[in-house]
């Protein structure tokens, strides 16, 4: 199975390599020594991660050569019509700004967020899909995620692995993480792995450094999602070979942040997120949709803050009220609100890579498909070994808990094909 199409290096400009995918060009960071023009490579998240043997690359490209153009065609067709006549007044004016590629203001985003009527929403989703298609073509990236520990020193009110919750805890060993990653690469063809955990200080700087160095040997993009650590630790892990980091700011509203995340501050988290970017990490950030007491203005501020942090990837998902947490009785957010958030983020930030998160799939089985048609272009597949998956209970009823990795991949490939998306790198 193949999760990324190999590309040919056609140009090298200092530390940027220009890659060719069947005539489409993408710029990526040249992060490996000894790469030359005409080499075949894999790239992930805008970073060149591995050189591939020419014979192997040509064999994979051969299986893709017709499909690649068929997929493009499907994607273009799906991104065609938008029935703008169904919008009226202010919303129509915002739509015109989007079509003219003008920058949207906070008021514009509030107008879009106020749309309720299904017909109007469907126009917004279609327009967002067109913007995605115009900027990214049919590129879509799929990363694997391994949740390696559910120990957490944090006590976030929304989270099912908060320290105060009495649950069975687990921690994968380095050997287990390596074996899971190797299997993901060898059997399923993954080229990027997100390592996620609670804030588990057992995995200290030295252990993490050792782990990252071992994983780096495997020629993949290493994506960290391990919470707040000293900047010095993140610098060390970058030097060891980690290249991407996922850290949501959760909410842009400092009062709500303080209520829900004891002993931490929004400032501290934002400072770290900004530092991650300065260190050079490919950054993924975003927020939870639907925290109690948030107003429409907070949602729009969340999108604007995400934009301001200039991440390579936007990650936001709905709050899922979870058993034995202080937010168990919080209202469940609608799929429409999540799709609307994705679509608004897409039209506000045409260049963004927007993830479909598993929390959305928990709300509805169809949601993944709908999100990909409302502006999203990236996905994650859960690779956590099955015995641990139910224990990584950050929220209730997580989608895919019972599904094998192979079945999940199969389903994802089918979905991407149905929607005409190709797994080439999205580039810088
Ligand atoms: N310890 C890491 C990883 C946290 S888990 C960190 O601090 O960044 C990843 C994400 O899960 C969190 O950032 C949060 O946005 C999300 N999450 C936690 N509880 C949730 C819930 N009940 N519903 C939906 N998402 C939740």
Q: Is the CB of 250 under 6 A from ligand 1?
A: yes
State the pLDDT at residue 425. 64
Residue bearing the CA closest to ligand 1, atom 24: 319
Which positions of the chain have pLDDT values less than 70? 1-3, 81-82, 399-401, 424-428
Q: Is the CB of 120 under 6 A from ligand 1?
A: no
7-78 against 137-418: fold identical: no
Q: Is the CB of 291 under 6 A from ligand 1?
A: no
In the chain, where the domains are located = 7-78, 84-134, 137-418
Ligand 1 pocket test target in 394, 395, 399 with most atoms within 8 Å of CB: 394
Ligand 1 pocket test target in 261, 288, 314 with most atoms within 8 Å of CB: 288
State the pLDDT at residue 393. 93
User: How many angstroms is it from 277 CA to the middle of ligand 1?
Assistant: 20
- Cα separations in angstroms, 12 against 23, 26, 53: 17, 12, 19
User: How many angstroms is it from 33 CA to the middle of ligand 1?
Assistant: 36
Burial annotation 226-241 (CB, 10 A radius, 16+ → b, else e): bbbbeeebbbbbbebb
Would you say domain 137-418 falls under CATH 3.90.700.10? no
- Cα–Cα dist 170/391, whole Å: 7
- Supply the DSSP string of 307-319, one letter for each residue: HHH--SEE--EE-
The model's pTM: 0.91
Residue bearing the CA closest to ligand 1, atom 13: 248
- Cα–Cα dist 185/413, whole Å: 16
Helices 405-418 and 54-78: crossing angle in degrees, nearest 10, is 50
Q: Is the CB of 395 under 6 A from ligand 1?
A: yes
User: How many angstroms is it from 394 CA to the middle of ligand 1?
Assistant: 6
- Cα–Cα dist 18/165, whole Å: 49
CATH class of the 7-78 domain in this structure: mainly beta
Residue 316, both tokens = 């936001």
């Amino acid at each position: 199975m193949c999760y990324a199409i190999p590309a040919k290096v056609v140009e090298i400009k200092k530390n940027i390599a220009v890659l060719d995918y069947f005539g489409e060009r993408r710029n990526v960071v040249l992060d490996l020594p000894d790469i030359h023009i005409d080499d075949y490579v894999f790239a992930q998240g805008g970073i060149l991660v591995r050189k591939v043997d020419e014979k192997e690359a040509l064999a994979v490209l051969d299986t893709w050569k017709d499909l690649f153009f068929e997929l493009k065609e499907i994607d273009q067709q799906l991104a065609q019509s938008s029935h703008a006549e169904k919008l009226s007044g202010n919303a129509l004016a915002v739509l015109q700004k989007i079509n003219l590629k003008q920058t949207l203001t906070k008021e514009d985003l509030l107008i879009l967020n106020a749309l309720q009527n299904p017909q109007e929403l469907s126009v917004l989703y279609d327009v967002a899909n067109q913007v995605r298609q115009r900027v990214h073509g049919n590129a879509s990236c799929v990363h694997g995620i391994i949740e390696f520990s559910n120990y957490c020193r944090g006590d976030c009110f929304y989270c099912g692995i908060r320290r105060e919750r009495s649950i069975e805890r687990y921690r994968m060993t380095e050997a287990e993480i390596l074996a899971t990653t190797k299997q993901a690469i060898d059997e399923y063809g993954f080229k990027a792995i997100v390592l996620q955990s609670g804030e588990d200080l057992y995995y200290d700087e030295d252990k993490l450094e050792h782990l990252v160095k071992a994983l780096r040997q495997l020629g993949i993009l290493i994506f960290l999602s391990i919470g707040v650590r000293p900047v010095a630790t993140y610098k060390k892990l970058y030097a060891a070979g980690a290249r991407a980091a996922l850290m949501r700011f959760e909410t842009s509203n400092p009062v709500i942040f303080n209520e829900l995340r004891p002993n931490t501050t929004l400032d501290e988290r934002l400072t770290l997120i900004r530092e991650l970017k300065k260190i050079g990490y490919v950054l993924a950030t975003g927020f939870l949709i639907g925290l109690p007491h948030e107003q429409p203005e907070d949602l729009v501020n969340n999108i604007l803050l995400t934009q301001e942090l200039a991440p390579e990837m936007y990650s936001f998902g709905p709050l899922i009220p979870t058993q034995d947490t202080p937010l168990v009785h919080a209202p469940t957010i609608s799929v429409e609100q999540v799709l609307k958030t994705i679509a608004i983020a897409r039209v506000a930030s045409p260049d963004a890579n927007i993830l479909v998160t598993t929390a959305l799939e928990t709300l509805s089985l169809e949601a993944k498909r709908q999100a990909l048609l409302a502006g999203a272009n990236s996905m994650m597949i859960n690779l956590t070994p099955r015995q641990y998956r139910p224990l990584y209970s950050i929220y209730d009823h997580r989608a895919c808990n019972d599904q094998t990795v192979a079945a999940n991949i199969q389903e994802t490939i089918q979905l991407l094909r149905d929607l005409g998306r190709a797994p080439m790198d999205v580039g810088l």
